[in-house]
Structure 1
Amino acid sequence: MEVKRICAAYWSATGNTDKTVNTIAETLAEKLGVPLERRNFTRPSDRAEDLSFTGGDLVVFGMPTYAGKLPNKMLPYVQQQIHGNGALAVGVVTFGNRSYDNSLAELCAALEADGFHTVAGGAFACRHAFTDALADGRPDWDDKRQMGEFAARIADKVKDLTDIPAPVAVPGDAAAPYYVPKGTDGQPVKFLKAKPQTDLGKCTDCGACARLCPMGAINPSNVAEVPGTCIKCQRCVRKCTKHAKYFDDPAFLSHVAMLEQNFTEPKENEVYL
């Protein structure tokens, strides 16, 4: 099976899945001597049309882990508008140093159902979207070294393929329920309705948060209003250069504090071929 093109396809709210996928894809393109193309479907406008690949493609497909699985608001797009058409795929998930739980299993199962042939899978620890106290600075130079080694092993594997490979075996249950967030008291917390607040003393009304929101949830005419669905991805918080966006929901903050109390020990990356 000849690979003619590497494709990096990803949803990345705060940028770490982007870094991870592209590090792997760039190494693959170099090792295999083929061109690299990127497909970033983070913003709503990027998902306006279906995304299709071909039998000569090797697609590095990346998503972050949200509550132990794929972001539930993005899953329909992955399931319904991504078409593998026989392409090879590497499933990649990132996670914020707690656990990737079942996200990699869910992603690989979705890719197989979309018409891809999965040849590898990997889960990589990155700075948590909610707090810098978990995996701050990751992916770091050692993570990127591991990503490069992973890519080199994938390149060696696909060079030797003569037939359609069996789906890569990864841990987890694609059909498992989402992880239930807990607060500092160990009890479940609910913050589905939490939305970002705006410090009007810092906000310059540049509109970047509204333009960048993966859900298109922020009102571009008044960025202090969030009439749409917020998935707590923290993109508006992370991308605001004036630090004007923040969350003050008590249940959300209790969950963040619980993470900071219990999950600061660095987690290892895991790869499967």
Structure 2
Amino acid sequence: MYFSPTGTTKKIVSGIIKKFSENIDKDITINNIDFTLPAVRKETISFTEEDIVIIGVPVYAGRVPNVLLKYLNSIAGNGAIAIAVVVYGNRNYDDALIELKDILELNGFKVIAGCAFIGEHSFSKTLAKNRPDEKDMAIVSDFANRIYNKITQEDNVQTVFVKGNKPYRKYYMPINKDGIPVDIRKVTPKTNSNCIDCKLCADVCPMGSIDYEDVSKLNGICIKCGACIKKCPTQAKYFDDEDYLRHKHELEVDFANRREPELFL
């Protein structure tokens, strides 16, 4: 299961599943639940104690995206084993992983492993560019092997400890040139004359906010996931808000050094 507007979280979760399934010498059923688009998040999902669920979300402002909380809390674990996956843009995952683990446990999952991987930042095409890369995916394979060994070799599989704070940190906020925290939640993408009205941006928007008849308009919120910008074939979508652009530049400068995945088993 994953929420993955630009494909980075999907790549990590799919990589774990692929390697994990290669270790199993009997027939298994693999169900892929991509809950990126709004229609899927309207469906009710429940599991059983026979299931193993690998669930991944991106990190927004150091936390699980708040727009996903209602959906995540609607999933019934019923004793299923879960592996919690968060993917962040090379700044920090802060309390996202412990928050996801807590959500899953409160809803009946037994969380036996967790990880924080790095993906290209949703704001940028240079910060953590092209990640997860080959090195990351090698770590994904190793992680999947270790999960398999834990499940098959331990008599009583234990829940996992992950890094994080309780109470959780507040959502990370950028600051403006005067050092004052700014709220960029209401910043929305603009559309330039390159637009060919292909409607792709409306199709990929995870909030269903881009107007299908006039793609320059928004009918709902923008979560700054980057899908409409990164997937536009003509580079017609962009942000021009001063505080947003300052924050984007700050991230690209301050967090340019490569960070590595963290695994918890």
* Deviation by residue 1:171-210 (Cα, 9 ceiling, x = unmatched): 10254121122346544222111111011x2111111111
- Name the aligned partner's letter for residue 41 of structure 2: R
Structure 1 vs Structure 2: percent identity of aligned residues?
Answer: 42
Q: Determine which of 234, 243, 254 is the counterpart of 1:242.
A: 234
Distance in 1 (CA, whole Å) between partners of 2:166 and 2:102 is: 7
Structure 1 contact 11–18 (Cα < 8 Å) conserved: yes
For residues 88-111 of structure 1, the C-alpha deviation after alignment (integer angstroms, 9 at most, x for no partner) is 000000000000010000001111
Question: Residues of 1 paired with 2:176 and 2:3: CA distance?
Answer: 28
Q: Which residue of 2 aligns with 1:233?
A: 225
Equivalents in 2 of 1:30, 1:41: separation in Å? 25
* Structure-2 change in CA distance of 1:68 and 1:190 (3 Å): same
TM-score (norm 2): 0.95
2:214 corresponds in structure 1 to 222
Q: For structure 1, which runs of at least 5 residues remain unmatched after alignment? A: 1-8
Q: Which has the larger share of strand?
A: 1
Partners of 1:57 and 1:29 in 2: CA distance: 13
1:194 matches 2:179: no
TM-score by length of 1: 0.92
2: CA distance, partners of 1:114 / 1:162: 24
| Count of residues paired in the alignment | 262
**Structure 2 partner of 1:67:** 61
| Aligned twin of 1:107 | 100
Question: Match for 1:178 among 171, 176, 196?
Answer: 171
Pick from 43, 53, 57 the counterpart of residue 47 of structure 2: 53
Q: CA RMSD in A?
A: 1.3
In the other structure, the counterpart of 2:30 is 36
Residue deviations 1:21-52 (CA, integer Å, cap 9, x gap) = 10011111111233322110000011121122
Give the gaps of 5 or more residues in structure 2. none
Residues of 2 paired with 1:78 and 1:184: CA distance? 36
**Matching of residues 110-129 of structure 1 within 5 Å:** 110-129=103-122
Whole-angstrom CA distance in 2 between matches of 1:170 and 1:185: 36
Give the conservation status (yes or no) of the 8 Å contact 1:183–1:257. Answer: no
Write the deviation string for residues 219-269 of structure 1: whole angstroms up to 9, x where unpaired: 111110012011111111111111111111111111101101200000011
* Contact 1:184–1:255 (Cα < 8 Å) also in 2: no
Q: 1:194 & 1:174 partners in 2: Cα distance?
A: 30
Amino acid aligned to 1:16:
T
1:133 Cα offset (Å): 2.1
**CA distance, structure 1, for counterparts of residue 174 and residue 67 of structure 2:** 17
Structure 1 distance, partners of 2:164, 2:2, is 21
